[in-house]
Structure 1
Amino acid sequence: MRYVFGLMVLTALALPALAQQVTDSVAPEAEIGQPAAFEALGAEAQAALEAKAAGRPVEAQEWMVAAANPLAVEAGAEVLAAGGSAADAMVAVQAVLGLVEPQSSGLGGGAFLVWYDAESGSVTTLDGRETAPLAATPRLFQDESGEPLGFFDAVVGGLSVGTPGTPRLMEEAHRRWGQANWGGLFDRAIALAEEGFAVSPRLAGLVADDADRLQRFPATASYFFPDGAAIAEGDTLTNPDYAEVLRLIAEGGSGAFYSGPVAEDIVATVRSAEGNPGVLSTTDLALYQVKERPAVCVDYRAHEVCGMGPPSSGALTVGQILGMLDHHDLAALGPQSPEAWRLIGDASRLAFADRGRYMADSDFVPVPVEGLVAAPYLKQRSELLSGDDALPEVSPGTPEYDHAFLWADDESLELPSTSHISIVDAAGNALSMTTTIENGFGSRLFVRGFLLNNELTDFSFRSHADGLPIANRVAPGKRPRSSMAPTIVLKDGAPVLVTGSPGGSRIIGYVAQSVIAVLDWGMDVQQAVAMPHLVNRFGTYDVEEGTTAAELAGPLEEMGFEVNARGLTSGLHAISLGDGLSGGADPRREGIALGQ
């Protein structure tokens, strides 16, 4: 079935300078692929790539899907065009992403999903985060003297692998909200895996950049370095093993992944990883469950910004940033104002201080969720922003607790990877899902055609500091804290923006900025996802090199910030809802938006 979309006609209204044409300003490594890599795409997808390159959003009336690879978006669009729900389309999109963008997400990883239900008007979330094996201990990532391991010493191999959650999340979302036949949702991914797909520029570049680690294990090396040479852009790559696993899941549900030969092979790969074996067991896989959790929502500019609560820090930290900024007039300041970015940067630093102290898996530690986003608390914290210079230092606040508990500050490291999917279906349901295997290429362990996550390294490597336990330390069955922030913004109970991004702990800044861009600065959704980034988490202000954001470095330094120009490769995929649907895809990645 064909699907079509209209392209927004550029108006004569000038864009804010900070959101000008991004294909000329994003870092070189973030440039989108040329048609040679996507020559098999349909005309609609080709037109969507051209629209993104020109800085235009994609317009539609009935449904829309935005994700990180055109082949995956086409798969989701086919499902929506045939009358499928947003949950159905997500299954098809994720199945293809795991094939064509294996470095970012897949069957071996986990995900968080935020769902707006059009019939009930309610928002809920599904937690498909990976869990620590039952044999894990708080000292999992410490050496014999109790000191933390080096990051990649912990990442590469079996020690970092948590119990995957993505397959069961796909099934649970379909069980709750799906309409299409489950098995058919895998057809496009199976065909691409068996017949072959063209290697994208981004995948080829990342393989070359990570050559040493990817060649450490034979199965991984064989797939990404056939005949000893790295896969290159435009190469046709097949993955029959992945097709077979998808076929098993299509026929037998996620149980075919969590028990039987697939589960046994996953465990054997983890436990036999040379030099760094892990402790995952078939029992861990058999026991894995997706959890429904209440959404965390914060008021901002007469809207509700809703997202994923613990074990994600995403909605809490985004919500804290916005809740503090709600007391300041960013619209009057505008996106080129150093003062606006002083406020945003220091609000982010304050939120990250609370994040490091309090946020972790609330099934294992008491997290003051309500206290952290309570309006009086955020107003109190916002008063710290009343000066005109950067805060000399920040510290965690004291949100209202229903009991006392003392924690040390977390030290975990999150590096950018991950992928984001935004979907609105014809019935008005909206889905925002961020999906990951954590670091690029995860643990570098490859089994049955997919990579296994390194999600356990999102835990703090230290278990204690200064005599106090760290909330995000490792524990059996615990889910590591995440920064993934799939978000749905509502006004008067109806969604107006679906957004989210990859990017490690910078996800929080990227998502908050996208909301500010739309609600405060009046940008369309493509402008919002494309505008240059400025992110401050722990004191240093990262400004996106090669963009107009770098022009703010001097003024920010004069305010007392330490500034660092660097690449900031987000992967925002967003849909705005109003008079129809408008989709935006981050020009730093290869994705598109398609709609009808």
Structure 2
Amino acid sequence: MKQPFFLSAVISLAAAAACQPAPEAPPPAENTVADAPVEPAEETRSWTRGAMVAAADPRAVEAGLEILQAGGNAIDAAIAVHTVLGLVEPQSSGLGGGGFLVYYDFQDDRLSVYDGRETAPAAADENLFVIDGEVLDFVPAWQSGRSPGVPGIVSLYKTAHDAEGQADWASVFQPAIDLATQGFEVSPRLAGFLANPQIRAATRLDDHEASAAYFYPDGEPLATGAVRTNQPYADILTAVAKEGPDAFYKGANAEAIVATVAEEPLPGEMTVEDIASYEAKVRPALCGDHDRIRICSAPPPASGGVTQNMIYGLYNRALPNNMDLAEEDVLLAWVEAQRLAYADRDHYVADADFVKVPAEDLINPDYLDARVGQMAPMDATQQPGDPGEVLGRGPMIGMWGRDMTEEKGGTTHISIVDQYGNAVSFTATVEAPFGNSRMVNGYLLNNELTDFSRQPRINGKLVANAPDAGKRPRSSLSPSIVFDENGDLLLVTGSPGGNSIVAYVSKTIIGILEWNLSVQEAIDLPNVIARGKEVRVETGVPKGQEWADTLSAMGYEVQEREGENSGLNTILVRDDGLEGGSDRRREGVARGFRP
């Protein structure tokens, strides 16, 4: 690791952070230590560092801890956490969406990725968002019946639980069923979204009959502290708990989804056959080996495996070859690594079941050695590289048109390490806030198909991420697990935030492992997103304005932002236990226990 520039800055950062209003600040990593009635499983490897759950709402975290303390593992807890999140922060994820879950099995020293990404219906083609020759703008596409994909999250639950879970299937849904039946308090974040005039103007959330009745009773948005029940949500969870995924993907629920998607404006063409045929996929993790660490994340159509390995590898290659590094050196290296990785991600990453994605080539050390020398001028847009040409496989850059698909930030992230040493990094989403705004049986449908390139051809050439029947749209989701030089579990991290997820997650990996920051210090750092020509800098936190000024003086076109939409949840494995952190920009916590 290079000498960190933050050694002196951490003190001022912590002092400044103390002045921020942080009512949702997570407790210390050692918090919530409790005796747990857990019988140790028969093990050939020993794990003594305890368990921890980090997620976007304390009630969801408590649900996960409850499952763990009853003897469940990280997969069981992840389902419990996420079903509660679908109830208390429906703006971010839920049963009507999808996600990617990376699972590490401690005993078998094995990684698996569960791909619950939504799929386009059979009727979709490349012109999904082209009407009379014109490409739809984002908002009308978002709120149309064409934007929902077939939800994948319930199939992901079952596929992962069948393979890895150890608690009773029905038991993991009980915390969310109880909370939906008894009622939950509306949080400030949810209330703020509902009252936001821009959200109300852009979405149909208060026009669609079911969502309007739920979120805007008597025409007014739910207020902070209001107690809301959701019996339809409890009922569908109860049915899934008893009958399995068929209760969601077949029968009345599937018919209700189809009917809702078929409503105006611009009705979609999803069918009950599309829904019944959905299957989550199990994929190998995409891992990259670096000096003393191994970064593993979800493969395409997710972006994590490609981008996190590219950014980390390029960052270290871009640093000046000396140990006396200034703040400007490491900031420059991180920004340039992002610009290069985003350019390649935007061009190449898509559903690898439909198009050729050179994922392994993009993280190949020989390609990274060459790519770091291809930095564009600071005032220009970075162009994609050509791993085929560099690695002697023949040029491949011309296979696809250039793509800059927008992605919005209706997403959540869960990090878990259980008392057996297993780990889950799980990012789930409905795409934009409140997804498609259309509500079915107490949950919101997604608008994930707007993650496809709405413009399918650029200069007459099809883009890799163009829509197609049964295809999964590209995702920025980057649920990541990092291992140390001995192959031992080191870091579990991830974030919501649309396109910016890539930058948010790289901040924690580099901040913790290269800059020697604590988990919370790394999360609290300003977010810097370098995609395309502009570099966006979060100035509303300590060091943010300083970084914006530094990058501007270097010649970058800097866009200053008061706040950012990150929601990082991260767990670091230390010799004496687990250190967790949760993003103060949202309402999450990290809590753990030792059996």
Compute the TM-score of the two structures, normalised by the length of structure 2.
Answer: 0.90
The answer to whether residue 350 in structure 2 is matched with residue 360 in structure 1 is yes
Q: CA–CA distance in 2 between the matches of 1:181 and 1:263?
A: 25
Partner SS, residue 413 of structure 2? strand
Which sections of structure 1, spanning at least 5 residues, go unmatched? Answer: 1-12, 34-48
The answer to whether residue 566 in structure 2 is matched with residue 573 in structure 1 is no
Pick one of 420, 434, 442 that aligns with 2:413.
420
Q: CA–CA distance in 2 between the matches of 1:449 and 1:511?
A: 31
Partner SS, residue 575 of structure 1? strand
The answer to whether residue 255 in structure 2 is matched with residue 261 in structure 1 is no
Post-superposition offset of 1:302:
1.2
Q: Percent identity?
A: 44
Aligned to 2:64: 76
Aligned to 1:438: 431
Which amino acid letter does the alignment assign opposite residue 585 of structure 1? S
Aligned to 1:589: 586
Cα 1:515–1:19 shift into 2, 3 Å: farther
Q: CA–CA distance in 2 between the matches of 1:432 and 1:274?
A: 37
Deviations 1:228-257 (A, max 9, x none): 110000000110000000000000111110
- Kept in 2: contact 1:514–1:528 (CA 8 A): yes
Aligned to 1:191: 178
- Kept in 1: contact 2:91–2:190 (CA 8 A): yes
Aligned to 2:46: none
Post-superposition offset of 1:576:
0.6
Aligned to 1:465: 458
Post-superposition offset of 1:392:
3.9
Partner SS, residue 27 of structure 2? helix
- Kept in 1: contact 2:27–2:591 (CA 8 A): no
- Kept in 1: contact 2:26–2:588 (CA 8 A): no
- Kept in 1: contact 2:315–2:336 (CA 8 A): no
The answer to whether residue 105 in structure 2 is matched with residue 117 in structure 1 is yes
Deviations 1:161-219 (A, max 9, x none): 00000011011111111111111111111111011000000000011112242112111
Which amino acid letter does the alignment assign opposite residue 111 of structure 1? G
Aligned to 2:372: 382
The total of aligned residue pairs comes to 558
- Kept in 1: contact 2:349–2:464 (CA 8 A): yes
Partner SS, residue 400 of structure 1? helix
Post-superposition offset of 1:400:
2.4
- Kept in 2: contact 1:487–1:498 (CA 8 A): yes
- Kept in 1: contact 2:26–2:584 (CA 8 A): no
Q: CA–CA distance in 2 between the matches of 1:366 and 1:296?
A: 15
Aligned to 1:38: none
The answer to whether residue 275 in structure 2 is matched with residue 285 in structure 1 is yes
Q: CA–CA distance in 1 between the matches of 2:271 and 2:254?
A: 9
Compute the TM-score of the two structures, normalised by the length of structure 1.
Answer: 0.90
The answer to whether residue 325 in structure 2 is matched with residue 350 in structure 1 is no
Deviations 1:507-553 (A, max 9, x none): 00011110001111111112122222122111211111222221122
Which amino acid letter does the alignment assign opposite residue 252 of structure 1? E
Aligned to 1:239: 230
Cα 1:24–1:208 shift into 2, 3 Å: farther
Post-superposition offset of 1:73:
0.4
- Kept in 2: contact 1:18–1:531 (CA 8 A): no
Post-superposition offset of 1:19:
4.4
Partner SS, residue 232 of structure 2? helix
The answer to whether residue 552 in structure 2 is matched with residue 557 in structure 1 is yes
Q: CA–CA distance in 2 between the matches of 1:63 and 1:309?
A: 27
Q: CA–CA distance in 1 between the matches of 2:32 and 2:213?
A: 42
Cα 1:25–1:309 shift into 2, 3 Å: farther
Q: CA–CA distance in 1 between the matches of 2:564 and 2:356?
A: 33
Cα 1:523–1:196 shift into 2, 3 Å: same
- Kept in 2: contact 1:324–1:382 (CA 8 A): yes
Q: CA–CA distance in 2 between the matches of 1:50 and 1:370?
A: 37
Pick one of 467, 470, 476 that aligns with 1:474.
467
Q: CA–CA distance in 2 between the matches of 1:58 and 1:487?
A: 24
Deviations 1:278-322 (A, max 9, x none): 111111111101111111112233100100110012220121111
- Kept in 1: contact 2:10–2:521 (CA 8 A): no
Cα 1:106–1:25 shift into 2, 3 Å: farther
- Kept in 2: contact 1:423–1:431 (CA 8 A): yes
Deviations 1:328-353 (A, max 9, x none): 4589566x712211111111111111
The answer to whether residue 291 in structure 2 is matched with residue 301 in structure 1 is yes
Which amino acid letter does the alignment assign opposite residue 314 of structure 1? G
- Kept in 2: contact 1:417–1:436 (CA 8 A): yes
Moved more, 391-400 or 325-334: 325-334
- Kept in 2: contact 1:342–1:390 (CA 8 A): no
Q: CA–CA distance in 2 between the matches of 1:355 and 1:395?
A: 11
- Kept in 1: contact 2:143–2:265 (CA 8 A): no
The answer to whether residue 476 in structure 2 is matched with residue 483 in structure 1 is yes
Post-superposition offset of 1:440:
0.4
Post-superposition offset of 1:21:
5.5
Which amino acid letter does the alignment assign opposite residue 593 of structure 1? A
Which amino acid letter does the alignment assign opposite residue 477 of structure 1? G
Post-superposition offset of 1:390:
3.0
- Kept in 1: contact 2:289–2:295 (CA 8 A): yes
Aligned to 2:193: 206
Partner SS, residue 510 of structure 1? helix
- Kept in 2: contact 1:59–1:583 (CA 8 A): no
Cα 1:426–1:160 shift into 2, 3 Å: same
Which amino acid letter does the alignment assign opposite residue 572 of structure 2? S
Aligned to 2:537: 543
Q: CA–CA distance in 2 between the matches of 1:433 and 1:470?
A: 28
Post-superposition offset of 1:276:
2.4
Which amino acid letter does the alignment assign opposite residue 565 of structure 1? E
- Kept in 2: contact 1:157–1:444 (CA 8 A): no
The answer to whether residue 88 in structure 2 is matched with residue 92 in structure 1 is no
Q: CA–CA distance in 2 between the matches of 1:469 and 1:575?
A: 40
Q: CA–CA distance in 1 between the matches of 2:450 and 2:433?
A: 13
Q: CA–CA distance in 1 between the matches of 2:147 and 2:51?
A: 38
The answer to whether residue 422 in structure 2 is matched with residue 429 in structure 1 is yes
Which amino acid letter does the alignment assign opposite residue 184 of structure 1? S
Deviations 1:257-289 (A, max 9, x none): 000111111111111x22221111111111101
Which amino acid letter does the alignment assign opposite residue 211 of structure 1? R
Cα 1:51–1:458 shift into 2, 3 Å: same
- Kept in 2: contact 1:114–1:307 (CA 8 A): yes
Which amino acid letter does the alignment assign opposite residue 454 of structure 1? N
- Kept in 2: contact 1:390–1:561 (CA 8 A): yes
Cα 1:123–1:197 shift into 2, 3 Å: same
Partner SS, residue 388 of structure 2? coil
Pick one of 24, 27, 34 that aligns with 1:51.
27
- Kept in 1: contact 2:379–2:557 (CA 8 A): no
Post-superposition offset of 1:325:
1.4
Partner SS, residue 16 of structure 1? helix
Aligned to 1:10: none
- Kept in 1: contact 2:465–2:473 (CA 8 A): yes
Deviations 1:73-117 (A, max 9, x none): 000000111111000001100110000010101000001011111
